[in-house]
Chain A
């Protein structure tokens, strides 16, 4: 990426919340921390705030670097910065780590103040609804009543949708990217295999592996390898690796094909930095999200009270969150006569496409975002 439109050096902050958060499960978190980062400047009437909701393995470090020497910037740095599609000269952008995460927000690896031990298996299972409620608390903490926009891809897109349902009066625009109104059975099945890989790892210890000084690396690694297969399209894998060999066929089970090398690398990297309990909970949040459920599966009824303006976006080769699923959201919004546009981006990269700087994809986001009124003399 060009350095001249990078947001530059950023630093995370922590907000502590001492009032309990009531959860959908019926449990409640007595107190919690949220780690977050902000980019750009909140304007005088606080009308230019945008929240970024992260996906399964994401976090609050969305853009910029902590140190100049960091190898990689935040995970959506190609989108966010001065003069980038989400222009930090106009918008005040907030990224946070969801509750239950493992990057600084309260999660299974955090210390439970009641026991002075890691929460481990006792950390509650959170839902998309709970996350959005906690994000609203973060906004309160920052003194922001209204969001110019909420943006999310994949599981983040579900949060963006939930924002418009739970807090219709607080959201002006929702950008829902590569998402779905719920998971299909096949999609949940991948999550179940991933969880089984973790849970059956002998070093999982029922989720209380911290006390044993081990982590269920093998399980987490396999879960991530499986995930990566589903994030890419068949074509993209074919193009990236094909049947290429590292060396020659050796009639064994070590890494022989390039594809195996990639998956193992990704699995090892992830297992070394991500918390297995968080992974279990993130996949469960995905499984459970189904805003139409209380309405007998009628998404149109579920979206009856939304007032935000929507941009829904999908990618042609995404089979984990296929365009057909995005079109369900669009249809429910059309049924309710809401302001909505829908873009189906031709892309080869499968689900991963939402993180890539495809020129047309970014042109869509840039165009849509540049039409959002940010008040304070920036009105368009």
Chain B
């Protein structure tokens, strides 16, 4: 299989966020990756955890990349919701670094909770001190995690870790686990200030 080749590549450019996600996904489970890009994460999970994975992707070039590496990919726009997916039909639904580019942000998280028994949401933390410093200096933040200029950014709903915690509370979402990383290393001290990427494992609260 081509998987092996790709995993070797992945080791070269080890992705700490992938490793954390892999830690949260059960062996052999069914996973839906929303905004799956070229299928890299699903390939990683397929190879390491033998998951049954499906990706959702809007972009034509990414769709081709997924087909090429044998990732099941469904071409659709996440802004339209997840009407093609049954309630609680996936063990885990993932939205990796895509939340901030969604217009229907609230709707997609609720849709994920409908379709997935658990969901994983990751996003660049806008409360990261480097972002704050750039704002303080009078500029919109530009960084490795937020590589766009204000005029060409696809990011429309940036938030901080505190904001997202509050969002979960207000929407009756249980935070099962939260991990924060900066440059591939975990951050536990002052995460909203020192963390660049926020990662959440979530579940709808039982009524």
Bound Cα distance from A160 to B33, whole angstroms: 28
Q: Are A364 and B64 in contact (CB under 8 A)?
A: yes
Q: Which of A184-192, A199-207, A287-295, A340-348 contacts B (4 or more CB under 8 A)?
A: A340-348
Q: Are B76 and A344 in contact (CB under 8 A)?
A: yes
Within the assembled complex, what's the spacing in Å between the Cα atoms of A91 and B196?
Answer: 50
Output the least CB separation between B82 and chain A (Å).
11
| A334 adjacent to B64 (CB under 8 Å) | no
A327 interfacial by beta-carbon distance below 8 Å = yes
Given contacts A344-B75, A360-B60, is CB(A367)–CB(B68) below 8 Å?
yes
Indicate if the CB atoms of B85 and A341 lie closer than 8 Å: no
CB pair B64 A363 closer than 8 Å: yes
Bound complex: CA A334 to CA B87 (Å): 12
Q: How big is chain A's contact interface, by range?
A: 20 to 34
For residue A363, which residues in chain B have a CB less than 8 angstroms away from its CB? 64
Query: Given B2, B52, B66, B84, which contacts A341 in the complex, CB threshold below 8 Å?
Result: B66
Contacts A364-B63, A371-B68, A371-B70 given; indicate if A337 touches B84 (C-beta within 8 A). Answer: no
B84 contacts A327, C-beta separation under 8 Å: yes
Residues of A within 8 A of B86 (CB): 334-335
Partner of A367, one of B30, B64, B85: B64
Tally of A-B Cβ pairs under 8 angstroms: 52
Chain B CB within 10 Å, residue with most, of A311, A341, A363, A367 = A341
A331 contacts B84, C-beta separation under 8 Å: yes
Are A342 and B73 within 8 A (Cβ)? Answer: yes
Flag A336-368 by CB within 8 Å of B: 1 or 0 each. 010111111010000000000000100110011
What are the residues of chain A within 8 A of B67 when measuring CB–CB?
311, 341, 343, 364, 367-368, 371
Min CB gap B133→A, angstroms: 42
Are A335 and B89 within 8 A (Cβ)? yes
The A115-168 residues at the B interface (CB cut-off 8 A) are: none
B54 proximal to A (CB < 8 A): yes
Kindly state the separation between the CA atoms of A91 and B67 in the bound complex, as whole angstroms.
19
Does B74 lie at the interface of the complex (its beta carbon under 8 Å from any beta carbon of A)? yes
Contacts of A346 in B (CB 8 A): 60
Is A220 on the interface with B (CB-CB < 8 A)? no
Minimal beta-carbon separation of B1 from chain A (angstroms): 9
Question: Are A342 and B52 within 8 A (Cβ)?
Answer: no
Is the C-beta of A330 less than 8 angstroms from some C-beta in chain B? yes
Set of chain A residues within 8 Å of B97, measured between Cβ atoms: none
Q: Cβ of B89: which chain A residues have Cβ within 8 Å of it?
A: 334-335
Q: Answer whether residue B48 sits at the interface, using C-beta atoms and an 8 A cutoff.
A: no
Bound CA–CA A346/B72 (angstroms) = 20
Chain A residues positioned under 8 Å from B74 (CB to CB) = 330, 334, 340-342
In angstroms, how far is the closest chain B Cβ from the Cβ of A367?
5
Inter-chain contacts of A344 with B (CB < 8 A): 75-76
- A312 and chain B: residue at smallest CB distance: B74
Tell me the complex Cα distance, A199–B54, Å: 48
Least CB distance from B25 to A in Å reads 16
A367, B64: Cα distance in complex, Å: 7
Measured between beta carbons, the chain A residues less than 8 angstroms from B72 are 339-341
B-contacting residues, A255-300, CB 8 Å = none
Please, how many angstroms separate the alpha-carbon atoms of A380 and B70 in the complex?
11
Q: How far is the CA of A360 from the CA of B64 in the complex (A)?
A: 9
Alpha-carbon gap, A342 to B56, bound state (A): 9
A284 CA / B106 CA spacing, docked (Å) = 46
Whole-angstrom distance between the Cβ of A379 and the nearest chain B Cβ: 10
4 nearest CB pairs, A to B: A367-B67, A342-B74, A344-B75, A331-B84
Q: Can you give 19 A-B contacts (C-beta < 8 A)?
A: A327-B84, A330-B84, A331-B84, A331-B85, A334-B74, A334-B84, A334-B85, A334-B89, A335-B89, A337-B30, A341-B73, A342-B73, A342-B74, A346-B60, A363-B64, A364-B64, A367-B67, A371-B67, A380-B2
